[in-house]
Structure 1
Amino acid sequence: MTAPKTLARIAGSLYLIVAGLTSFAGLVNTRIAESGDAAATADNIDTSATLFRIGFASELVGATAFLLTGMALYLLLKHVNQMAAAAMVTFVAVSVAIQSMSLLNQHAALTIATGQVYTGAFGPTGSDQLTLLFAGLQRDGYLIAQTYFGLWLLPLGYLVVKSGYFPKVLGVLLVIGCFGHLVDVFARFLAPGFGADISLFALTPAAVAELSFIAWLLVKAVRVPEPDTRVTAVAHSGPS
């Protein structure tokens, strides 16, 4: 049986990989895809095809690492409440499935932007519009997956509070982060302009919570209660 401290550090290492790779992939996509400008988006993807491919691979590896993070935390925290731990890892699995499938749209955008056959079939304007369409579908798919990136923090926060392994404030921050993700998702879909304006504010609590949790997992791992030596001493001093 793997020790709690070892599981915690494995989870923290995987979570750090998730944060690094998905942030890099998001930065690449943001810099290359020009919202509303099909020609610029297609040209950027074509001229930065290698970087776009690296971003694709980074997000795929990050999604895999996220699933493994959820599994490691399930093993660490299932003794606290198995139903909550199962809900946590289910939300992770759903988010990873949606995120991975949305990467097909990113690959389609890359294929169209770099393939002359599509320019010949649809013309330069039609090809560029298809590239923008698939790039937008990838972005929207990631936003849908973000719903579950948020929801997994709710049972995780509960387990963190109840486990005794971590400061309770970490669990509270994770729960607040859950609602920050949900506000960001629904604001972006229901009122895109307003959602874009408040996105940074909505996601800041989640970023603070998750980075703090990663740091605790890596540095402190878990707080394992010391055995009560007084009880042990009384037990040994009793009648034989």
Structure 2
Amino acid sequence: MTQKEYARLSGLIYLLTILLGIFSLVYVPSKIPTAWENASLTAQNILEYEFLYRLGILGGILLYILFSILPLALYRTFAPVNRGCALLMVIFALTSIPFTLLNIVNKVDALTLLSGAEYLLTFEKEQIYTQVLLLLKSYSNGIQIIHVLWGLWLLPFGYLVYKSNLLPKILGILLMAGCLSYLVRFCTNLLFPEYQIPAFIRVPASLGEIGTCLWLLIMGIRTPPTITESNQKLSTSKIEGMS
């Protein structure tokens, strides 16, 4: 495959991960809200929309499987710009995969507790519901920590976009700013858990990732000049300078 074809493939995979992310991380939680002060209500919400809850888990798994392919396709697109930086991007992105998949186990375990299996009859319902809420809290905490890796991979990625001239430089700036926003959110949630983070903090990452995805998929990358073309331009400049 050519560099341009890898860029288009990256855009397609990126779009699928974004759509799956919106479904599993935004839509499903909005339909099955977690009532942190009411374990019984949280459990009832899950049981009422159990199939949607299971679809959310499946969507999350598919998301991270696709996300494991994305940095490899991006590597083939941007490695000619800076191989070391492209490799760092891949390492940060792939490192997040096992953590995210293991974190989903908390949501699966919550379903197990609500399954009504005989071996759970020794527990009171309120005890089970409390355990479910604890598992969901553990999942939420895991997502907060994984934010670090979700942010770090955007830094070398954004740098590559900025330096390559294959895409608009503004996208590279937004991606690097997105890295900072992820780290700010993590540190704020950890150090000041009661503080409500303004929504605009998430804007750079969203604009950078969605913008880069759509640009790669629709517009593709600019064709980098070949060595021959570069030499011709250099020769022309020298001749013009001598005349």
**Structure 2 length as normaliser, TM-score?**
0.89
Is the 1:43–1:113 Cα contact (8 Å) retained in structure 2? no
CA distance in 1, matches of 2:174, 2:49: 38
Q: Match of 1:22?
A: 21
Letter matched to residue 219 of structure 2: K
Q: Deviations over 1:50-86 (max 9, x none)?
A: 1111000001100111111111001111122122111
Deviation of 1:193 after TM superposition, in Å, equals: 2.4
Q: Match of 1:237?
A: none
Letter matched to residue 138 of structure 2: L
- Residues 1:125 and 2:126 aligned together: yes
- Residues 1:78 and 2:79 aligned together: yes
CA distance in 2, matches of 1:94, 1:193: 29
CA distance in 1, matches of 2:7, 2:230: 26
CA distance in 1, matches of 2:57, 2:145: 18
Structure 1 unmatched runs, 5+: 235-240
Q: Match of 1:8?
A: 7
Letter matched to residue 43 of structure 1: Q
CA distance in 1, matches of 2:21, 2:85: 26
Q: Match of 1:37?
A: 38
Deviation of 1:189 after TM superposition, in Å, equals: 2.0
Deviation of 1:29 after TM superposition, in Å, equals: 2.7
Q: Secondary structure at the match of 1:131?
A: helix
CA distance in 1, matches of 2:143, 2:198: 15
Q: Match of 2:66?
A: 65
CA distance in 2, matches of 1:31, 1:136: 17
- Aligned pairs, how many? 231
- Residues 1:221 and 2:224 aligned together: no
Letter matched to residue 211 of structure 2: S
Structure 1 residues 229, 71: closer, same or farther in 2, change over 3 A? closer
CA distance in 2, matches of 1:62, 1:139: 17
Q: Deviations over 1:118-150 (max 9, x none)?
A: 652221110000000111111111221111111
Matches within 5 A, 1:1-240: 2-27=1-26, 28-32=28-32, 33-117=34-118, 119-194=120-195, 197-227=196-226, 228=229, 231=232
Identity %: 32
CA distance in 1, matches of 2:73, 2:231: 34
Letter matched to residue 101 of structure 1: L
Q: Deviations over 1:146-189 (max 9, x none)?
A: 11111100000111112121111111111001101111122122
Letter matched to residue 190 of structure 1: L
Q: Secondary structure at the match of 1:121?
A: coil
Farther-moved stretch of structure 1 (45-54 vs 24-33): 24-33
Deviation of 1:211 after TM superposition, in Å, equals: 0.9
**Structure 1 length as normaliser, TM-score?**
0.90
Q: Deviations over 1:95-124 (max 9, x none)?
A: 121111100001001111233436522211
Q: Secondary structure at the match of 1:114?
A: coil
CA distance in 1, matches of 2:85, 2:77: 12
CA distance in 2, matches of 1:66, 1:107: 21
Letter matched to residue 88 of structure 2: A
Is the 1:173–1:205 Cα contact (8 Å) retained in structure 2? yes
Q: Deviations over 1:177-210 (max 9, x none)?
A: 110111112212222221xx22522111110111
Structure 1 residues 89, 225: closer, same or farther in 2, change over 3 A? closer
Superposition CA RMSD, Å: 2.0
Farther-moved stretch of structure 1 (100-109 vs 222-231): 222-231
Structure 2 unmatched runs, 5+: 236-243
CA distance in 2, matches of 1:198, 1:118: 42
CA distance in 1, matches of 2:189, 2:81: 35
